[in-house]
Amino acid sequence: MEELKERLRKFVHERDWKKYHNPKDLADVIIYSLNMANALEIDITDSVIGKIEKNERKYPIERYFGEAH
């Protein structure tokens, strides 16, 4: 989980996207996501890392720094 948090922190920081994030309802989203991953027998760590890597290609820093996605 720490690796996921660090990868996401870096991804958001490099694009200056923190201003678009709101902590409201965060616990509900996490609980729902973990329950869904368990039900589908998905390795949440592998899934999230794969998505971050996809987004890194889709939203390159030089094009999306400071812009909403």
Q: What is d(CA 36, CA 44) in angstroms, rounded to the nearest whole number?
A: 10
The pTM of this model reads: 0.57
Phi, psi of 58 (to 5 degrees): -75, -35
| CA dihedral of 67, 3, 36, 68, whole degrees rounded to 10 | 0
Looking at residue 69, what is its pLDDT? 63
For 50-60, write each residue's pLDDT tens digit: 999 999 999 99
What is the mean pLDDT for each group of 10 consecutive residues in the chain (69 residues)?
A: 89 88 82 94 94 95 83
DSSP-derived 3-state class of residue 10: helix
